[in-house]
């Protein structure tokens, strides 16, 4: 797999922000509880990318949930990966699904979902949801906790 590391490459050292998501390296570490189904959650309330048409910034609140199997994503590498989108032009749907697919490729989790709750631009909010696999029976996955956009009405 391209861009996949089975060891930690960024902790304890200066790590520049990757110039693009393609250049970003995601690290993974062994799951200390591979015999247990549990949900790990990452929340990125200030995610930023660029509109591919206008070049204007787009903002989202991302919620990433997964049930790990053998691997966990290392959080510093995930933060740098997500930050690499700040100069990346792509539509909301592409950003959300591409992040999900990259993490599924890296981790091969038992279950994965991402919710991209995008702030309105041009008067229309776009929320994007993607899931891979079925939640293992008996595993609790809480609501993502992000209210749908209601505007001022």
Residues labelled catalytic: 51, 58
Write the CB contacts of 74 (distance below 8 Å, at least 6 apart in sequence): 8, 10, 11, 26, 27, 28, 29
Write the CB contacts of 33 (distance below 8 Å, at least 6 apart in sequence): none
Q: Please name every residue paired with 127 in a beta bridge, in sequence order, or none if there are none.
A: 117
Task: DSSP for 30-80, please give it.
Answer: E-S-TTS---EEEEEEEEEEE-TTT--EEEEEEEEEEE-SSEEE-HHHHHH
Structure tokens belonging to residue 52:
């591919």
């Amino acid at each position: 797999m391209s861009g996949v590391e089975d060891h930690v490459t960024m902790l304890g050292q200066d790590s520049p922000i990757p110039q693009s998501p393609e250049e970003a390296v995601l690290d993974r570490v062994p799951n200390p509880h591979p015999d247990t189904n549990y949900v790990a959650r990452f929340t990125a309330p200030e995610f930023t990318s660029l509109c591919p048409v206008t070049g204007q910034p787009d903002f989202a609140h991302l919620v990433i949930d997964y049930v790990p199997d053998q691997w966990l994503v290392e959080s510093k590498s995930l933060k740098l990966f997500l930050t690499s989108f700040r100069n990346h032009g792509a539509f909301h749907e592409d950003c959300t699904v591409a992040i999900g697919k990259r993490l599924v490729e890296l981790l091969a989790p038992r279950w994965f979902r991402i919710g991209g709750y995008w702030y309105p631009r041009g008067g229309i909010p776009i929320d994007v949801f993607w899931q891979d696999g079925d939640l293992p029976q008996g595993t609790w996955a809480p609501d993502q906790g992000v209210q749908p956009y209601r505007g001022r009405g």
